[in-house]
Amino acid sequence: MKQLFCDVCKKEVIDPIPGRTFFYFREYDLCEPCKDDLEASVKAAVLTKKPFDFAWFDKMRSEIVLNGVKNSKIAGSKRSR
């Protein structure tokens, strides 16, 4: 059995199934709750951006994940850890 830890919150993912219980983002593995936090943070930022630009979107999403890895929490997360 493979042991997998979320790169953001550092918690172990029990019974890892790609695309269901953990997700890849670039070189990082994200658990489902951290992926949900990432999507919520991205959605809040995208709603304020006019006109939309994919280069900006990729850069912003990468920065959110990198900051999450450094702080062990996705910015704007409503979950308590």
What are the pLDDT digits (tens) for 41-75?
A: 999 888 888 888 899 999 999 999 999 999 999 87
Contact 79, 14 (CB under 8 A): no
The pLDDT of 24-47, averaged and rounded, is 91
Contact 39, 79 (CB under 8 A): no
Whole-prediction pTM: 0.82
Q: Binning pLDDT at 50, 70 and 90, where does residue 78 land?
A: low
What's the start-to-end Cα distance of the chain, in Å?
Answer: 26
Residue 30 has pLDDT above 90, yes or no: yes
Alpha helical stretches, state H, the chain: 32-46, 54-71
